Amino acid sequence: MTDMNKAFNLPDNYYPTPNTLIDKMIADIDTKLQFTFLEPSAGDGKIVRRLFEKYNSLYRYERNNIDIDCIEFDVNLRQILKYNFSEEREIAIRKQQEEIESKVKWDREERRITELSNIDKAKLRDLKGELLTFPEQNNFHIVHNDFLTFNTFKRYDVIIMNPPFDEGDKHLIKALEMQENGGDVICLLNAETLKNPYTNIRKHLIELLDKYKAKIQYLQGEFQTLETERKTSVEVALIKVSIPRKAKTSSIFDELQKAQKKEIEQREATELAKGDFIQNIIDQFNLEVRCTLKLIEEYEAMKPYMLRSFDKGDDVSILTLTLKYGSGTYKQSVSINKYMQSVRMKYWRVLFKNPQFTGMMTSNLQQEYYNMVDKLKDYDFSYYNIKQIQADINSKLIKGVEETILNLFDKLSEAHSWYPECQKNIHYFNGWATNKAHKINKKVIIPIHGAFSDYSWTRETFETYTVYSKMEDIEKVFNYLDSGETGEVDLHSALIRASEAGITKKIPLKYFNITLYKKGTCHIEFTNQRLLDKFNIFSCRHKNWLPPSYGKKRYSDMSNEEKTAIDEFQGKEAYEQMYNERSYYIFEISELPMLSSGDLGEKEKTDISTVNI
């Protein structure tokens, strides 16, 4: 037994941890994420002191106060530990600091400062360093005397310890059990505990360390350095375990989800709407609401057992539920009706952002309905209400889609007619009501400035966003007309691939190929002639450039005047081919599929835990 242990009557198994070894223990601690610590074999507080120093020496803007709980079995060490982090000791150190600093005096006559001696300078440095080892607030607590009998509901980010070597296995198992729901354990252990597992306790410990993939470093001579207070030649194992946080589960959610699955199975057994997109979202909405209402009911039932005090008449609960309503207004008392408004808004909002619901809505129309969310909070998120809105949107789409198609027709013909090359975009013909009629050719040219930036002028790299914004408008119109017949080609991805590969000629897109020129033009070649004809027929009919009988009579049944217009527009043979497929070419906007409920299929159904509506 050393003189120190004799002087303070300290236990024989007390081996204070040297600072160099402590630094190895705390090297991997994340000061930005780990703030609560337990030191269950604290001794006189050397590890605790080093932890406070590590955090307190950080820059102010990145410093976080840590909370350290300590346990120490020996009564004498507990007294020393208590004093080492006491306000009394901190005051004494600051007094010593002031006494030394007071020796520095300004001599006005000789205009110089009386410097401190080297001994005082060294002492002052030590005192300033020691002040870093004190908690900045009341964040140090001695909470128990025996770690093996310690029980708490508190959660610790890190349990860090140098337990008695003769009971290290029991202490480490206890620490691992406390952190089984997530957290770190850092422990110094007699290496023999792991290298010679002759007891069931040690074998169990090794199983746990394997289970948690512990990092183990064997160290020799760590307790034989000059700074070591009590030396020993024993080899130690530095063990670091990081246990991931367990995913939280809800018994309320699990119970109600099982019940809802049965309801869905029963419904789908008798209905044809299996996998219906809208119904899937409604099911998700219903599950979320049922779970939340059950939670509120449970909270209200538990409230009398969570009161702030035992004083008569005090009905304020320690734990409260709050409701975020709208954009930042918080209600302290949970109103079921206000909750329903909030959750309805969430689902209406996400519905109006989902392409499977919005379908072919123009951006203006999407925004119009998105702005209606505040009104829709008072309407249930039900199949009936969704279908009513869907019907309303479809009626508004008819006019919007017609305008979009005709606007593109004008843009490809008249809008750029001032540009010499663009004059080749159209084929003129003698129209039914005017001789200014025309249709769009298979190859068209449009100006597209800014596709090639200055830095890429010498390379075949173009600005994808500039090209995308032009091509998106054209592709949207042909999507209206196509009704989903053409296979998908992601416009944005196709342009990115071409730009990265330095391809600027005949870039294949969904309905056309494009060629980009640095002089500021884009050549478009339509690859779907049937769809281009459908586009031209629709536009020319709505401009009254084709006879009213177009598509209603065979060519042979037309008048000479009607035949002349047909000959100029497309010719007899092409007209007869069109007539045989007139259900494809002759249509009204109301006949196009505007909004679709879609079919996500079984594997794409969502639930509230992975919401991605």
Residues 6+ positions from 287 with CB-CB distance below 8 Å: 253, 256, 257, 260, 607, 608
The candidate with the shortest Cα–Cα distance to 56, out of 130, 117, 144, 146, is 130
**Nearest 5°: phi and psi at 511?**
-115, -5
Mean pLDDT is lowest, of 154-163, 256-265, 589-598, for: 589-598
User: Which bin fits 359, alpha (ψ -120 to 50), beta or left (φ > 0)?
Assistant: left
CB 333 within 8 A of CB 303: no
Give the pLDDT of residue 611: 35
Distance CA 515, CA 460 (A): 12
Amino acid at 223: F
Q: Give percent of the chain above pLDDT 90.
A: 45
**Section 314-333 average pLDDT:** 73
Whether the pLDDT of residue 455 is over 60: the answer is no
Distance CA 147, CA 173 (A): 11
**Section 301-314 average pLDDT:** 88
Indicate the average pLDDT of the chain. Answer: 85
Mean pLDDT is lowest, of 127-141, 142-156, 394-408, for: 394-408
User: Which bin fits 213, alpha (ψ -120 to 50), beta or left (φ > 0)?
Assistant: left
Whether the pLDDT of residue 230 is over 60: the answer is yes
**Nearest 5°: phi and psi at 179?**
-100, 15
Whether the pLDDT of residue 247 is over 60: the answer is yes
Q: Give percent of the chain above pLDDT 70.
A: 87
Query: Which of the residue ranges 176-180, 307-311, 448-452, 587-591 has the most confident prediction, judged by mean pLDDT?
Result: 176-180
Instruction: Measure the N-to-C terminal CA separation of the chain; round to a whole number of Å.
Output: 70
Ordered alpha helix ranges (H), 435-520: 464-482, 491-501
Instruction: Report the greatest alpha carbon distance in the chain.
Output: 126
The candidate with the shortest Cα–Cα distance to 390, out of 365, 417, 410, 412, is 365
Mean pLDDT is lowest, of 162-171, 425-434, 546-555, for: 425-434
Give the pLDDT confidence of 74-88 residue by residue, as tens digits: 999 999 999 999 999
User: How would you write 349-402 as a 3-class SS string?
Assistant: HHHCCCHHHHCCCCHHHHHHHHCCHHHHCCCCCCHHHHHHHHHHHHHHHHHHHH
Whether the pLDDT of residue 597 is over 80: the answer is no
Strand 140-144 vs strand 67-71: parallel, antiparallel, or unpaired? Answer: parallel
Whether the pLDDT of residue 274 is over 60: the answer is no
pTM above 0.75, yes or no: no
Distance CA 73, CA 43 (A): 8
**Section 567-588 average pLDDT:** 92
- Tell me the pLDDT band of 458, cut-offs 50, 70 and 90: low
Distance CA 342, CA 331 (A): 12
Strand 438-440 vs strand 426-428: parallel, antiparallel, or unpaired? Answer: antiparallel
Whether the pLDDT of residue 302 is over 50: the answer is yes
Write the DSSP symbol of residue 317: B
CB 606 within 8 A of CB 284: yes
Whether the pLDDT of residue 67 is over 80: the answer is yes
Q: Structure tokens of 55?
A: 């955090």
User: Which helix (H) or strand (E) element contains residue 280?
Assistant: helix 277-302
